[in-house]
Structure 1
Amino acid sequence: MIFILQFLTIYGFYLLPVYCIIFCLNLVSLLKKIKEEDYTTKNTIWLTVSFILIIMTIASLAALD
């Protein structure tokens, strides 16, 4: 149990900023494509995946405390 807690803490500490950067970049790209009325499916999928990873990381860290 201690190993899982340590792993998720390190995982959340180092990878959560990466997920947030991916989320922000995809959001900006998606908004630009919406403004230009361009194809947005790929960016929407990546935005959803990165948001789910952020929420899952925060929820798992909160559940273990």
Structure 2
Amino acid sequence: MDDAMDSLMRGRTVLVIAHRLSTVKSADTVAVVSDGQIAESGTHDELLDRDGIYTALVRRQLQGTKNET
């Protein structure tokens, strides 16, 4: 499924709204929307380095994954 989506999105501008952060991890640009405003934007790695909202979401999602196992 991921390979099919990657193939469809290649060479196009695509807006993805995702709850699973793994969906946007390889995006060229990730925008974090909070209270109707873009609060942060950048690559996955850039946003993690900023230790902001995106980082908190990643940590929360990873913690949830650990609790499910």
Instruction: Tell me if TM exceeds 0.5.
Output: no
* TM-score normalised by structure 1 residue count: 0.36
Higher relative contact order (CA 8 A, sep 6+): 1
Structure with greater strand share of residues? 2
* TM-score normalised by structure 2 residue count: 0.34
